């Protein structure tokens, strides 16, 4: 038998350890992992020169935009950024124009994406106005629902606890997770109004408005409702000690709860935000040092399940408005996430096992992405080939994302994604995109 590809002389993270091995790839799947002598003949052979192969990263929190927001990012540029960052699957957020919140908008989004994507893409949907449509959206293939609690985005009235309860009941029956942006709208708007009246419109005011208690309030509120339903709640970008504590308590009580944090919440503090300015403004914002320490603790103790980029690109003009309230919050981060994590591996704060657990294994498990997240014979050949010894400066002007800025611009990273394979196909090689648009696969919940 002749397989499509053999990757020789590599190392790979297999069965929870790094082993010297070669990998045979056929028809998009991992055909064999083993000694070079046991590899089948191949159409193409690539010498990995001792580089490390990881299961391709799965980024469960990405705003790919496109459609009405294509000027910020589109399916091609966003998935090119993912491939450049060693990420082989992304889950797309629904705050689009139009908002993804019906079978129709989802179907249309999938159709547009199909021709443009370079990595695998699964889709979140916001909740529809009419709850009867929830099942239709799941049938269309949404991998999960998103609930944005900071402001009304979807069709479900976030001020109506009874409606939330009904929605959670339906979704729990369908066994689909709900990912939440946990900031309490009422508390947030009240603080914002007071600050505006006092003529406080700068970064300090933004930090005051987006306080720890605003996060904690939303987390606790939703846990109270979720508890009555058995729904799987996934808390996005947890950023505070007490927000995390509330999640931990729910976990301890046996509720099906998971959470994520982001590289910017781990690596940037309010001091960085003050120094860099509104370019680094995101929601929830970066925090004080003691909050960051609590998040690192949560990673070390295994309470934080997932790391996700929350890639949220905007134009540079949108990032620099006069009043802080008008700044578009979010930063592009698909191309900095893995480099920053590998740098921490070099420093000894994280292990390769941590990176793979947080960005491949757990995401695949939580969102039921079958055949992904692990290097295993029979699984999809989604691979990130990395050079752990490569030292270089992060250069945002070279990003594949349309948003060519980053709070991490100029940082020295150690560890670089060198090749990205998606379903057995080489997509990125030495920073260049080498595959056609449409090479990625749309992921539908089965």
Provide the binding-site residues for Zn ion, judged by CB under 5 A.
Answer: 181, 310
Q: How many chain residues interact with ligand DOR (CB under 6 A)?
A: 8
CA Rg, the chain, in Å?
Answer: 21
Please say which residue, 116 or 181, places its beta carbon nearer to Zn ion. 181
**Using an 8 Å Cβ cutoff, are 223 and 242 in contact?**
no
CA pair distance 75, 109, nearest whole angstrom = 10
Angle CA 121–315–70, to nearest 5: 40
Task: Please list, in sequence order, all residues whose beta carbon lies within 8 angstroms of the beta carbon of residue 434, skipping any fewer than 6 positions away.
Answer: 426, 427, 428
329 binds, among ligand DOR, Zn ion, none (CB under 5 to 8 A by kind): ligand DOR
CB of 307 to Zn ion, least distance (A): 14
Q: Which 8-state DSSP code applies to residue 286?
A: P
Please say which residue, 64 or 364, places its beta carbon nearer to ligand DOR. 64
**Residue nearest to ligand DOR as judged by C-beta position:** 330
Tell me if 63 contacts ligand DOR by CB under 6 A.
Answer: yes
Please say which residue, 53 or 91, places its beta carbon nearer to Zn ion. 91
Please say which residue, 78 or 330, places its beta carbon nearer to ligand DOR. 330
Binding to ligand DOR by CB under 6 A, coded x per residue (else -) over 371-400, reads ------------------------------
CA pair distance 400, 397, nearest whole angstrom = 9
Both tokens of residue 229? Answer: 């339903």
**Residues of this chain, 155-184, that bind ligand DOR according to CB under 6 A:** 181
Tell me if 91 contacts ligand DOR by CB under 6 A.
Answer: no
Among 14, 312, 345, 364, binds ligand DOR (CB under 6 A): 312
**Using an 8 Å Cβ cutoff, are 112 and 105 in contact?**
no
CB of 46 to ligand DOR, least distance (A): 37
Please say which residue, 33 or 329, places its beta carbon nearer to ligand DOR. 329
CB of 181 to ligand DOR, least distance (A): 5
Please say which residue, 279 or 388, places its beta carbon nearer to Zn ion. 279
CB of 236 to Zn ion, least distance (A): 5
Please say which residue, 310 or 441, places its beta carbon nearer to Zn ion. 310
Q: Which 8-state DSSP code applies to residue 285?
A: P
Which of the following is catalytic: 74, 184, 305, 310? 310
95 binds, among ligand DOR, Zn ion, none (CB under 5 to 8 A by kind): ligand DOR
Cβ-in-10-Å burial (0-12, 13-18, 19+) of 35 comes to exposed
Tell me if 282 contacts ligand DOR by CB under 6 A.
Answer: yes
Task: Please list, in sequence order, all residues whose beta carbon lies within 8 angstroms of the beta carbon of residue 145, skipping any fewer than 6 positions away.
Answer: 124, 125, 126, 127, 134, 137, 171, 176, 177, 178, 179
Among 24, 209, 283, 443, binds ligand DOR (CB under 6 A): 283
Tell me if 330 contacts ligand DOR by CB under 6 A.
Answer: yes
Size of the chain, expressed as the number of residues it contains: 446
CA distances, 17 to each of 309, 360, 375, 378 (Å): 25, 14, 11, 19
CB of 283 to ligand DOR, least distance (A): 4
Please report, in angstroms and rounded to a whole number, the separation of the first and last CA atoms in the chain. Answer: 32
**Using an 8 Å Cβ cutoff, are 334 and 81 in contact?**
yes
Reply yes or no on whether 161 is catalytic. no
CA distances, 426 to each of 25, 226, 384, 386 (Å): 11, 42, 10, 14
CB of 330 to ligand DOR, least distance (A): 3
Give the interface with ligand DOR as residue ranges (CB under 6 A). Answer: 63, 95, 181, 282-283, 312, 329-330
Active site residues: 310
């Amino acid at each position: 038998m002749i397989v499509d590809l053999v990757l020789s002389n590599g190392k790979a993270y297999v069965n929870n350890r790094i082993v010297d091995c070669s990998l045979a790839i056929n028809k998009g799947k991992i055909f064999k992992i083993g000694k070079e002598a046991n590899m089948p003949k191949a159409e193409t052979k690539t010498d990995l020169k001792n580089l490390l192969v990881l299961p391709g990263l799965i980024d469960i929190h990405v705003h790919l935009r496109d459609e009405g927001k294509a000027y910020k990012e589109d399916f091609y540029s966003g998935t090119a950024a993912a491939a450049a960052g060693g990420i082989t699957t992304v889950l797309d957020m629904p705050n689009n124009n139009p908002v993804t919140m019906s079978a129709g908008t989802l179907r249309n989004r999938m159709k547009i994406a199909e021709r443009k994507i370079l990595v695998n893409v699964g889709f979140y949907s916001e909740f529809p106005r009419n709850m009867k449509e929830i099942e239709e959206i799941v049938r269309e293939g949404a991998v999960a629902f998103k609930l944005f609690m900071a402001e009304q985005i979807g069709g479900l009235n976030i001020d109506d606890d009874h409606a939330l309860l009904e929605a959670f009941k339906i979704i729990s029956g369908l066994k689909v997770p709900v990912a939440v942006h946990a900031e309490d709208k009422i508390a947030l708007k009240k603080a914002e109004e007071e600050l505006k009246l006092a003529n406080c419109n700068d970064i300090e005011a933004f930090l005051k408005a987006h306080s720890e208690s605003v996060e904690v309030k939303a987390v606790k509120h939703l846990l109270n409702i979720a508890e009555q339903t058995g729904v799987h709640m996934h808390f996005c970008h947890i950023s505070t000690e007490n927000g995390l504590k509330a999640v931990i308590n729910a976990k301890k009580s046996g509720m099906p709860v998971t959470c994520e944090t982001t590289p910017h919440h781990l690596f940037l503090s309010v001091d960085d935000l003050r120094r860099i300015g509104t370019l680094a403004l995101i929601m929830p914002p970066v925090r004080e040092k003691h909050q960051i320490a609590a998040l690192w603790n949560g990673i070390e103790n295994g309470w934080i399940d997932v790391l996700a980029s929350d890639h949220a690109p905007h134009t540079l003009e949108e990032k620099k408005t006069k009043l802080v309230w008008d700044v578009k919050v979010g930063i592009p981060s698909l191309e900095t996430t893995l480099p920053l994590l590998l740098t921490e591996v070099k420093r000894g704060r994280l292990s390769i096992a941590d990176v793979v657990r947080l960005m491949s294994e757990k995401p695949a498990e939580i969102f039921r992405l079958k055949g992904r997240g692990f290097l295993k014979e029979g699984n999809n050949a989604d691979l990130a080939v990395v050079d752990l010894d490569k030292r270089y400066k992060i250069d945002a002007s070279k990003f594949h994302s349309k948003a060519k800025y980053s709070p991490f611009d100029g940082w020295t990273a150690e560890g670089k994604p060198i090749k990205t394979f998606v379903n057995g196909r080489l997509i990125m090689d030495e920073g260049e995109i080498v595959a056609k648009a449409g090479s990625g696969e749309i992921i539908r919940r089965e």
